[in-house]
Amino acid sequence: MSHKKKNEYRIEYILIVVSFLMGGIGMLILIRFTPLVNVLFRDYIITKNETKIFEKNSLSESVKKIYDAVTVIEGYYNESLAETGTGFIYKVDDKYGYIITNEHVLENTNEVKVVLTTEEEKKAEVLGKDEYLDLAVLRIEKKGIKQVANIGSSDKVNLGDTIFTIGTPLGYDYRGSITSGILSGKERMVAVNSSSEKTDDWMMKVLQTDASINPGNSGGPLLNASGEVIGICTLKLIDSEIEGMGFAIPIEDAMSHIDLLEKGEKIKWPVLGINMVNLSDTSSIVNNQIEVPTAVKEGIIITGTKDGTDASSKLKKGDIITHINNDEVKDIAHLRYELYQYKPDDSIIITILRNDKEKKIKVKLSE
């Protein structure tokens, strides 16, 4: 081969190597300074003020993991549709599928039906329910069930994480609606009113989200970005004037009681054994002829005790309860929340004001 020919081959080789290096450098630049790769892999990088924010382009793959496990809940009273809500299948056995929903979805109903995503309608058996937990467990025949929800953990989800819901807002026509948002708050204490009275009945510890939760979403799953259930949506805590604030029962709280509800066993909540009113309820205080020190602004006033309880021999009318085991209680809703952390037959220390003097009294709880 001539010397000239060798030089030509050498130049071509050098050009190939240079082209390869330039191509590699160009690709590195694309990866580093443009969203090209993220578009290809369905992730976007948004750069603002040198801060990178990673966002999923779609939750569709996560939706597929849960969609067919979500059901429409229809509650009937004397064959007329009375309530519509949402539920999800959390387990199956050889014969049945088991569904979680909210207890308040079943209020004023004497028959419950479940509609699957296949449009198949099934009669449901109510195994157990609890008003305080706002949970109910239903059972349907296994045939036709296509999917079971994966139970996740609300403890592992951080504020600002992407979450989504699937439910039946405003009734059957909008079944399977998906909304998304972020986890806005954890361990929120929200008052619940289950009656027509203005006084709140108890407190619930809930998750807060800005995802849309509308009438009919009650009982449906709140899900993390992987499609795992982290909570159970509830509208029992929603006021008509509130916007962008949805709430969900943490899944851990629900699952810790699910075995009892499956068995149809009643949840045993403790009772202190007193009649009481809030310090703010001035009309009830006057009607009960109780005098309250002007310096006392918060607490619960005992208006009577129930025979056969430990409280009947230790507490009396006019006592003002301010603490349970060193935890402050400002009203009846707070007292019940603190009380329901214990079991019947547990003993607690109650701090009261009696004749302007503070006293601590040990009281055994009843069932």
Q: Is 218 a catalytic residue?
A: yes
d(CA 297, CA 305): 23
Q: Which of 62, 200, 218, 334 is catalytic?
A: 218
d(CA 282, CA 276): 12
Q: Which of 134, 200, 281, 319 is catalytic?
A: 134
Cβ(161)–Cβ(182) below 8 Å = yes
Q: Which of 62, 104, 177, 319 is catalytic?
A: 104
d(CA 215, CA 170): 6
d(CA 298, CA 66): 46
d(CA 137, CA 216): 17
DSSP 323-334: EETTEE--SHHH
Cβ(319)–Cβ(274) below 8 Å = no
d(CA 133, CA 135): 5
d(CA 229, CA 90): 9
Q: Is 226 a catalytic residue?
A: no
Closest to 183 measured CA to CA, from 203, 153, 150: 153
How far are the Cα atoms of 55, 145, 180, 233, 249 from residue 73, in angstroms, in the given order? 33, 15, 21, 14, 18
Q: Is 180 a catalytic residue?
A: no
At 11, the amino acid letter reads: I
Q: Which two tokens stand for residue 139?
A: 């059972």
DSSP 13-53: HHHHHHHHHHHHHHHHHHHHHSSHHHHHTTEEEEEETTEEE
Residues with catalytic roles: 104, 134, 218
